[in-house]
């Protein structure tokens, strides 16, 4: 569980770093683009970049939610498998004890 939590935190930090890098790169391209003459063009491009950034966040949040749900289902399955295993093991021990008596 601790390893999964650490992986989750590392994934969140990496997503945040990548998204910041993408936005920074988009802003630099806009600023360096000579065709951007007036501020309304720059504002439009910044709004487009913001929308793209928001869409990336939504996509990553969706991926994260799926990853978390998959992990939780797997955890739940393992939990029940452990219970089944423990019960079967206990039953087997009781049968062995009866045979030895």
DSSP string, 11-60: HHHHHHHHHHHHHHHHHHHHHH-TT--SHHHHHHHHHHHHHHHHHHHHHH
Check if the beta carbon of residue 87 is closer than 8 Å to that of residue 35: no
Domain boundaries, the chain: 2-100
Per-residue pLDDT, 13: 83
Asked if pLDDT for residue 39 goes beyond 70, the answer is: no
Share of the chain above pLDDT 90, in %: 0
Q: What are the pLDDT digits (tens) for 44-79?
A: 888 888 888 888 888 888 888 887 787 777 777 767
For residue 33, what are its two tokens?
């683009």
Q: For the residues 5-29, what does the mean pLDDT come to?
A: 78
Check if the beta carbon of residue 53 is closer than 8 Å to that of residue 18: no
Per-residue pLDDT, 1: 63
Q: For the residues 13-24, what does the mean pLDDT come to?
A: 78
Asked if pLDDT for residue 35 goes beyond 60, the answer is: no
The pTM of the full predicted model, rounded to 2 decimals, is 0.41
Tell me how far apart the alpha carbons of residues 71 and 7 are, in angstroms, rounded to a whole number: 12
């Amino acid at each position: 569980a601790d390893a999964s939590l650490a992986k989750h935190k590392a994934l969140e930090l990496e997503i945040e770093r990548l998204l910041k890098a993408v936005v920074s790169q988009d802003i630099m391209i806009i600023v360096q683009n000579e065709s951007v003459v007036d501020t309304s063009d720059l504002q439009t491009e910044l709004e487009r970049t913001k929308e793209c950034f928001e869409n990336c966040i939504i996509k990553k949040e969706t991926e994260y939610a799926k990853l978390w749900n998959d992990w939780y289902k797997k955890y739940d399955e393992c939990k029940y498998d452990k219970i089944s295993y423990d019960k079967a093991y206990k039953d087997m021990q009781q049968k062995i004890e009866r045979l030895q008596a």
